Structure 1
Amino acid sequence: MIIITGATGELGSRIVDRLLQRVPAESVGVSVRDPSKAQHLADRGVRVRPGDFTEPATLAKAFEGADRVLVVSAAIRGDAAVGANLAAIDAAVAAGAGRILYTSHQASAPDSLFAPQAVHFATEQHLAELPVPYTALRNGFYATTLAMHLEGALATGTVAAPADGPVSWTAHDDLAEAAAILLATEHPEDGPTAPLTASQALDLEAVAAELSTLTGRTITRTVVDDEEWRAGAIERGMPAPAADFTLGLYRAARRGEFDVVDPALGELLGRPPLPVASTLRRLLG
């Protein structure tokens, strides 16, 4: 049985949908914090069981009978995220899974300026020490992150943010399909994959140009000093830790951490990855 965690989230739900196009529903199980939110999957024949990374005792039942487990990285921050990821991975091994897959990131590194990358690196280090094979999906940066700029851009006509750099904005749909392909493949590659990215890396100036084309309005890019941006974000109601977290994204981008594109995703999908305009169009409604 193939078990997927986080199956009601933005990425996990898409992975399940695409996996069900490739394998019978009775061979798929999901581990979710709230099974009531996965009733639609149970109705399709998927095994639904409660499981919470922060309560490892729940995972033994959730992972029971697993041949493969896909651990979708915990949606929390810092050391707690590492602990949650490792608890899920160890529970999968204890359940007898023959392979662990993990949604990592193309910028996974211990010294990244964007905090989640150190979490991915620590998780990958743990995976490398397992007694079973693993595959770490080095996903490109989620293009939906650009949603945080849209309201301000549409209201003011400018994307106002700290200095940035090119980012491999990659569609959830493409990454979900890639994960489903690897889950259904008899012998997926071992270790970290090549970067699974869109075909272009774009900075916010290029994103503003895309928004101009999509909306028929002139959207410009304005660079804001780091501390000025942080103070303004906090004044608008963003908690200070969240402002610092987000500022790390811009600092990492301008250091070039996300300026990576690779043909691996397109080769896996058998088609070109979706461009950032596709995600922007959906976000704009």
Structure 2
Amino acid sequence: MIVVTGATGGLGGATVAHLLRRVPADRIGVSVRDAAAARHLADRGVRVRQGSYEDPAALRDSFAGAEQVLLVSGNDPAADLVALHRNAVGAAVEAGVRRIVYTSQQGAVPGNPYPPSDIHRATEAVLDDSGVAWTALRNGAYGPLDQVLGPWRRTGVIAQPADGPVPYTDRDDIAEATAVVLAGDRAFDGPVTLTAPTAVTLEELAGIASGLTGAAVRRVVVDDARWVADQVASGVPERMARLLLTWYQAARTGHFAEAGPLLGELLGREPRTAADRLAARRTA
């Protein structure tokens, strides 16, 4: 059995949807905070059990009988995510799971100024000490592009801090590849990177957007301090604005520049590029 955590969230839910196209429903289980929210999966024959990273005993029950578990990383900035991930790894080990697959992040290496990188590196160390086979999927940035680009559709300007090349990756491609890893016969040990095939800068995205819209979209580099102040003035909490700034700082220092072929190999096709995603967003 394959058990997926966070199955009512975006990435976990999409992964389960792709798994259902590859393996029988009775070979899939989910561990969710609210079992009622996963009723649609239970109706399809998926085993639904309540479990959360804060409750190791419930997790052990939700992982019972699983050969593999997908641990979707937490995203609550106020929580001790490493401790919560350690709970989940421990529960999987106690449940007799043979392999743990974890959703890590591209660029989870020493020196990356983006704080979540430290969380993922620490979790990978917990996995390495667990005694169980493990895979860390270091996923490329798959959030909505408008979160990175800002309100360019309204202003005609991408006004963000200095950046660097990033292989902006489609979330559904990541979910499909994760399902392929879980359902397939090919084993991946340790960290592997899943990204779109090409890394691009915001300057290049401005050019792509200009071509799609037929109107000039300019790239303006905003000073870091000015950008944080502008974010705070627009209602973003200062702590969050400073965290977001570190992402651009990591990009400009090359921590997200790697673009590898593995995602395409797993999908059996070319992954969606940032240009594809902008075009799809425009025609939606």
TM-score grouping bracket, smaller chain normalisation = over 0.9
CA deviations on 1:161-201 (whole Å, 9 max, x unpaired) are: 110001111111111111111101234121112x2111110
3-state SS of paired residue (1:73): coil
Mapped to 1, the partners of 2:281 and 2:83 lie a distance apart of 32
Once the two structures are superposed, the pairs formed by residues 1-285 of structure 1 within 5 Å of their partners are 1-77=1-77, 80-142=80-142, 144-149=143-148, 152-193=151-192, 195-284=193-282, 285=284
Specify every segment of 5 or more residues in structure 1 that has no aligned partner in the other structure, as ranges.
Answer: none
Mapped to 1, the partners of 2:36 and 2:209 lie a distance apart of 37
CA deviations on 1:90-118 (whole Å, 9 max, x unpaired) are: 11111110110101122012321111111
Mapped to 2, the partners of 1:223 and 1:106 lie a distance apart of 24
Letter in 2 for 1:254: R
Letter in 2 for 1:101: V
Q: Is the 8 A contact 2:6 2:12 kept in 1?
A: yes
Letter in 1 for 2:126: H
Letter in 1 for 2:248: Y
Mapped to 2, the partners of 1:52 and 1:210 lie a distance apart of 42
- Cα distance, 1:156 vs structure 2: 1.0
Mapped to 2, the partners of 1:95 and 1:149 lie a distance apart of 40
- Cα distance, 1:243 vs structure 2: 0.4
Letter in 2 for 1:235: A
Letter in 2 for 1:11: L
* Cα distance change on mapping 1:240 and 1:78 into 2, 3 Å: same
Query: Kindly, what percent of the aligned residue pairs are identical?
Result: 47
**RMSD, aligned CA:** 1.6
* Cα distance change on mapping 1:246 and 1:85 into 2, 3 Å: same
- Cα distance, 1:234 vs structure 2: 0.4
Aligned residues: 283
Q: Is the 8 A contact 2:70 2:102 kept in 1?
A: yes
Specify every segment of 5 or more residues in structure 2 that has no aligned partner in the other structure, as ranges.
Answer: none
Mapped to 2, the partners of 1:149 and 1:108 lie a distance apart of 19
- Cα distance, 1:30 vs structure 2: 0.6
